[in-house]
Amino acid sequence: MDLMFLTGLLASGVRFAIPLLFAALGETIGQKSGVLNVGLEGIMLVGAFLAVAFSVATGSPWGGLLAAILGGAALGLLHGLFAVRLKVDQIVSGLALILLGLGLSGFGYRLVFAGQPSMRVPGFDRLDLGVLSDLPLLGPLLFSHHALAYLGILLAVGLWWIMTRTGLGLTIRAVGENPKAADSAGIDVDKVRMLCTIFGGAMAGIGGAYLSTAQLAGFVEDMVAGRGFIAIACVVFARWNPLGVLAVALIFGIADAAQIRLQPFFPQVPYQFFVTLPYVLALVALAGAARSSNLPAALTQPYRKS
Amino acid sequence: MMQTNHAAHTTVPVLELAHLSKSYGEVRAVAGLSLSLNPGEVVALLGENGAGKSTVVNMITGMTRPNSGQIRVRGKEVLIASPRDALDRGIGVVHQHYALVGDFTVAETLALGRAGPGRLNRQALHAEVRRVAERIGMQIEAGALIGSLDVAGQQRVEILKALSREVGLLVLDEPTAVLSPEDVARLFDVVRALRADGVAILMVTHRLADVFAVCDRAAVMHSGQLVCDLPVMDVTSEGLISAMISGSTDTVQESERMPGDVMPARQAAPANDAPTRVSVRDLALRRANGSQAVQGLSFDIRAGEIMALAGVDGNGQSELVQCLAGVNLPDGGTAEICNCSSDGPWSPRVLRHAGVAHVPDDRRRQAIISDLSLGANMILSHVFSRRYGRAMLDWSRARDDTSRAIDEYDIRTTGPDQPIGRLSGGNQQKLVLARELLAGPKVILAAHPSRGLDIRTIGAVQNILRQQRDAGAAILLVSADLDEIRALADRVVVLAAGGAFGPVDMAQTDTAQIGAWMAGHT
Ligand SMILES: Nc1ncnc2c1ncn2[C@@H]1O[C@H](COP(=O)(O)OP(=O)(O)OP(=O)(O)O)[C@@H](O)[C@H]1O
Ligand SMILES: [Mg+2]
């Protein structure tokens, strides 16, 4: 394998990693507060659809992004209402979100774009950093991504700082580890969880928007294709550490890029074999990390006063 | 921060309870109780299991609301709606079960809910912890992780937590039950420092020694009523005991004496040829977090012998009991119980079959299911032995057994069908004991069997353990209570500071020595 192949692989690995990164960062915060959202898949689908619809409507990918954030936050709010306020089983509520997301995005797509076989979606352009982007090898690898990619990396660092160094992080961790302790310290457990869940939804919305307006240009039904679940695996594999999430999302992104790029080299192997690669990686990661002691102690447990 | 009003306010009680009542359905948990606490006063709240002490604490601290009566704080009538509300009114509480986050530091624990959302100033936080701790002569490391502290340390953090806000009344629920003698002394130093600072303290306890050591007044409850409220100078242990048991301070009638009063002489030392029932060789155990809990531990327990495992919680006792009960495998070395070896099949099922009974230390998490009835909880340990049938459960037999246990152990309940979570802590413990001893076990793993029990019941439980011993059971008694160890044990092993001392014969040592080992001194 030559150097060109390698940089190409890594650069597209980064691109594949970004949607995972956003969704997984949001999920990390949600889980840190004690709320598991298995419905990321559904939220990402809605985000992907809204981003396309509103990019077309407003003529700018940023308009689409905003719509995806709002839509994701709304679904996060819905999950919070059921799982946090009404104490419905978090898995059940999350599964409902997946189905809802599938239905909403598919239906919405047909409603809005019926009979418009090919339309131009105003997508995100890669950032042009002039000389830097033209550098051989390093240019494509580091300096030619979408603005969202750099935002995601900044977010990972920022969230890590918030979770470990600030009073806000302390509050979120307490709520996910021992809600009773948080409650007795005067913290409104359900409110913190609601806000974290809404944040998680908004982040998954961004992940979906990236898929449909930066990575690809357009919406296809079920285009998230399991990335919502991989994002959850990222959170566990990264042991609930936002910086870890950055690293793990990159690993998964590169694995995804590799499976696509390796396919032509082995025409005799059925392509489905390659497609399963990231999922196998996720399984292995989960089996290894599931018993981690970093698991928020009150994850999936609704909080009821005394 | 802390209240420092001495003379000025001494006439206004910090807290006044007037004709307070609380019923749970038919059960009158507290009936017309009146009590007041002045600044700088330490009041002991005593009473048998189910007398209503925790219910009083819950009403003061906003966990439950009274059905009738008034609560006045510094002369003003108030409604305490939540724990938060109580805190805002200057009422702090240290519950029996601490609410702490394991991977927080001490300083972070105190900052929770008080620091703003922004950057934490660790230096300022640490200084604050040191300042509050120093003020009451408490030793604590601000940067220590909660999970790495023993129970005494965690209790100190709970006290600091209460004191980091302006507190006029501190409620302590059975604070000494889990402490070593040395830590009890330290706790009392803190209590005295607080008293000097004008803080009123209400201390629920089952130990009369606590009353005479630090308390100014003793309030005794019996069946939800206050039957005695006297300065400690004017009471005797006998008077307190009789008030607890019979509700009057008159001398106890001979017929009402506690079963535990008369300590039957040791029937016979276990014969040297009595079979070894438990054998532990070079055992190493790890905690759930991976750290080393026990290393190189070896001892035997023969039939008809009680081996005490002394030490403060957190030194590997629970890991050892978990291992011997088959819940965990050893990390090194071997354990053998009644022909089962940890090198072979080793599980609770196998060991229960072999005749092992297990009274876990974490009652609420490992011993009972709160929502299920007493009868259903009775069945839990006897599923494998099929005492109550196979596929179809023999409920009438379970109910009979439960009813008998209720009589024998004097469990305060409405009957075998009541959910066990409704019982007072001590009464739950009695049912667990009854269940475990039901089938005549060969080996009894008893972790703090009398923790949270009143004096009378402790006597009864100790007698039962003696009977079981005389009937040939090998008993491992995990305890931090020197009186209990002295009363029951034939030999003792002490786990402390990551090491093990002993086993030694009780005849060849004394409680002072055991206490010193528990504190980690050699
Ligand atoms: N939530 C509840 N539902 C029903 N009954 C209850 C409830 N809480 C307490 N009780 C009953 O109220 C009575 C007093 O209980 P309480 O817990 O106050 O006793 P206690 O003095 O603290 O006893 P212990 O020493 O065993 O802790 C008991 O008969 C108990 O069964
Ligand atoms: Mg109680």
DSSP letter at B414?
A: S
The predicted complex's ipTM stands at 0.83
Residues 150-179 of A with CB under 8 A from B: 165-168, 170-171, 173-174, 177-178
How close, in Å, is residue A155 to chain B by CA atoms?
17
How close, in Å, is residue B22 to chain A by CA atoms?
17
- Ligand 1 atom closest to the Cα of residue B25 is 4
pLDDT classification of A88: cutoffs 50, 70, 90: very high
More confident residue, B504 or A167: A167
Give residue B245's pLDDT.
Answer: 77
The full set of domain ranges for chain A reads 2-112+162-292
Give residue A115's pLDDT.
Answer: 66
Give residue B522's pLDDT.
Answer: 63
Whether chain B has a CB inside 8 Å of the CB on A306: the answer is yes
* A186·B119 Cβ contact <8 A: no
Give residue B272's pLDDT.
Answer: 66
Cα–Cα dist B221/B33, whole Å: 9
CA of B56 from ligand 1 middle (Å) equals 10
Protein residue whose Cα sits closest to atom 6 of ligand 1: B422
Residue B141 is encoded by which pair of tokens?
A: 């490391």
DSSP letter at B345?
A: -
The shortest CB-CB distance from B119 to any of A165, A177, A186 is to A165
In CATH, which of 3.40.50.300, 3.30.310.220, 3.10.20.30, 2.60.40.10 is domain B261-355+441-522?
Answer: 3.40.50.300
Q: Which chain A residue's Cα is nearest to B113?
A: A185
How close, in Å, is residue A165 to chain B by CA atoms?
6
* Length of chain A (residues): 306
Q: Which chain B residue's Cα is nearest to A178?
A: B101
In terms of Cβ atoms closer than 10 Å to its own Cβ (0-12, 13-18, 19+), residue B77 is exposed
Protein residue whose Cα sits closest to atom 28 of ligand 1: B50
* B120·A170 Cβ contact <8 A: yes
Protein residue whose Cα sits closest to atom 4 of ligand 1: B422
* A182·B115 Cβ contact <8 A: no
DSSP A98-153: HHHHHHHHHHHHHHHHTT--------PPBP--THHHHSTTHHHHHSSSBHHHHHHH
Whether the bond into A296 is cis, omega within 30 of 0: no
* B104·A168 Cβ contact <8 A: no
- Cβ-based neighbours of A18, under 8 Å, separated by 6 or more: A145, A146, A148, A149, A152, A207, A210, A214, A215, A249, A253
> Which residue among B22, B23, B55, B220 is best mutated to probe the pocket of ligand 1, counting the most ligand atoms within 8 A of its Cβ?
B55
Give residue B260's pLDDT.
Answer: 43
Protein residue whose Cα sits closest to atom 16 of ligand 1: B52
Whether chain B has a CB inside 8 Å of the CB on A291: the answer is no
Residues B357-393: b if buried by 16+ CB within 10 A, e if exposed: bbbbbebeebbbeeeebbbbbbbebbeeeebbeeeee
Residue B416 is encoded by which pair of tokens?
A: 């075998």
DSSP B463-519: HHHHHHHHTT-EEEEEES-HHHHHHH-SEEEEEETTEEEEEEEGGG--HHHHHHHHT
For chain B, helix, strand, coil in percent to 5 are 35, 25, 40
Residue B97 is encoded by which pair of tokens?
A: 């079960």
Residue B57 is encoded by which pair of tokens?
A: 């604490």
**What string of pLDDT tens digits covers the 522 residues of chain B?**
444 444 444 478 999 999 999 998 878 899 999 999 999 999 999 988 888 999 999 999 888 899 999 999 998 899 998 888 888 899 999 988 888 998 899 999 989 888 888 888 889 999 989 988 888 888 888 888 888 787 788 888 998 888 877 889 999 998 888 777 788 888 899 999 999 989 999 999 988 889 999 999 999 998 899 998 999 998 888 888 888 877 776 544 433 444 444 444 454 555 667 788 888 888 888 877 677 778 888 888 888 899 998 877 777 888 888 888 888 888 888 888 888 887 878 888 888 888 888 988 877 778 888 888 888 888 888 887 778 877 788 888 888 889 988 988 888 888 888 988 888 888 888 899 889 988 888 899 998 888 878 888 888 888 888 888 888 889 999 988 888 888 888 888 888 777 778 788 887 888 777 877 877 766
CA of B130 from ligand 2 middle (Å) equals 32
How close, in Å, is residue A12 to chain B by CA atoms?
36
Mutation site, B64, B95, B101, B365, interface A, largest A CB count within 10 A: B101
The shortest CB-CB distance from A170 to any of B63, B87, B108 is to B108
Cα–Cα dist B498/B9, whole Å: 48
Using beta carbons and an 8 Å cutoff, which residues of B are at the interface with A?
Answer: 63-64, 82-84, 87, 99-104, 108-109, 111-120, 161, 288-290
Dihedral pair phi/psi, residue B205, rounded to 5°: -155, 155
> Distances in Å between the alpha carbon of A52 and those of A73, A106, A229, B161, B442?
17, 13, 22, 52, 72
- Cβ-based neighbours of B315, under 8 Å, separated by 6 or more: B150, B293, B495, B496, B497, B498
* A293·B290 Cβ contact <8 A: yes
Residue A240 is encoded by which pair of tokens?
A: 């609930």
Q: B36, B12, B8, B42: which is closest to B199 by C-alpha? A: B42
In terms of Cβ atoms closer than 10 Å to its own Cβ (0-12, 13-18, 19+), residue B83 is buried
Give residue B256's pLDDT.
Answer: 43
Mean pLDDT of chain A: 88
Chain centroid, CA A106 distance in Å: 20
Chain B hits for A172, CB-CB cut-off 8 Å, are none
CA of B52 from ligand 1 middle (Å) equals 6
Dihedral pair phi/psi, residue A81, rounded to 5°: -60, -45
Give residue B477's pLDDT.
Answer: 92
How close, in Å, is residue B269 to chain A by CA atoms?
46
The full set of domain ranges for chain B reads 261-355+441-522, 373-439
The shortest CB-CB distance from A181 to any of B101, B114, B119 is to B101
Cα–Cα dist A264/A277, whole Å: 15
Chain A hits for B111, CB-CB cut-off 8 Å, are 167, 170
* B103·A306 Cβ contact <8 A: no
Residue B338 is encoded by which pair of tokens?
A: 């009644």
* A185·B115 Cβ contact <8 A: no
DSSP A174-225: HHHH-HHHHHHTT--HHHHHHHHHHHHHHHHHHHHHHIIIIISSS--TTTTT
Q: Which chain A residue's Cα is nearest to B88?
A: A186
For chain A, helix, strand, coil in percent to 5 are 75, 0, 25
For tokens 């839509």, the residue is A71
Chain A hits for B103, CB-CB cut-off 8 Å, are 173, 177
How close, in Å, is residue A174 to chain B by CA atoms?
6
Q: Which chain A residue's Cα is nearest to B102?
A: A177
Chain A hits for B108, CB-CB cut-off 8 Å, are 170
Dihedral pair phi/psi, residue B495, rounded to 5°: -105, 120
Sign of the C-alpha dihedral, residues B47, B48, B51, B54?
Answer: positive
- Cβ-contact A72, A47 below 8 angstroms: yes
- Cβ-contact A206, A70 below 8 angstroms: no
Long-range CB contact pairs, B386-390, < 8 A, 24+:
B387/B438, B387/B439
Span between the terminal Cα atoms of chain A, in Å: 62
> Which residue among B424, B433, B454, B458 is best mutated to probe the pocket of ligand 1, counting the most ligand atoms within 8 A of its Cβ?
B424
Give residue B82's pLDDT.
Answer: 83
In terms of Cβ atoms closer than 10 Å to its own Cβ (0-12, 13-18, 19+), residue A122 is middle
How close, in Å, is residue B64 to chain A by CA atoms?
9
Sign of the C-alpha dihedral, residues B408, B410, B415, B417?
Answer: negative
Cα–Cα dist B309/B500, whole Å: 10
In terms of Cβ atoms closer than 10 Å to its own Cβ (0-12, 13-18, 19+), residue A295 is middle
Q: What is the maximal distance between C-alpha atoms in chain A?
A: 63
CA of B425 from ligand 2 middle (Å) equals 5
The predicted-structure confidence for A244-293, as pLDDT tens digits, reads as follows: 999 999 999 998 888 888 888 888 888 888 888 888 888 887 777 666 67
- Cβ-contact B115, B125 below 8 angstroms: yes
The predicted-structure confidence for A196-247, as pLDDT tens digits, reads as follows: 999 999 999 999 999 999 888 888 888 898 899 999 999 998 999 999 999 9
Nearest ligand (C-alpha, residue B46): 1
More confident residue, A96 or A305: A96
- Cβ-contact B72, B15 below 8 angstroms: yes
> Distances in Å between the alpha carbon of B39 and those of B51, B91, B502?
26, 12, 46
CA of A69 from ligand 2 middle (Å) equals 50
Edge-first strand listing for the sheet containing B305-310: B356-359, B443-447, B474-479, B305-310, B491-496, B499-505
Please, where are the H alpha helices in B5-138? 53-60, 83-88, 106-111, 122-135
Pocket of ligand 1 (CB under 6 A): B 24, 27, 29, 47, 49-55, 412, 422-427, 452
Q: Angle A7-A11-A12 (CA atoms, 0-180°, nearest 5)?
A: 120
* B84·A184 Cβ contact <8 A: yes
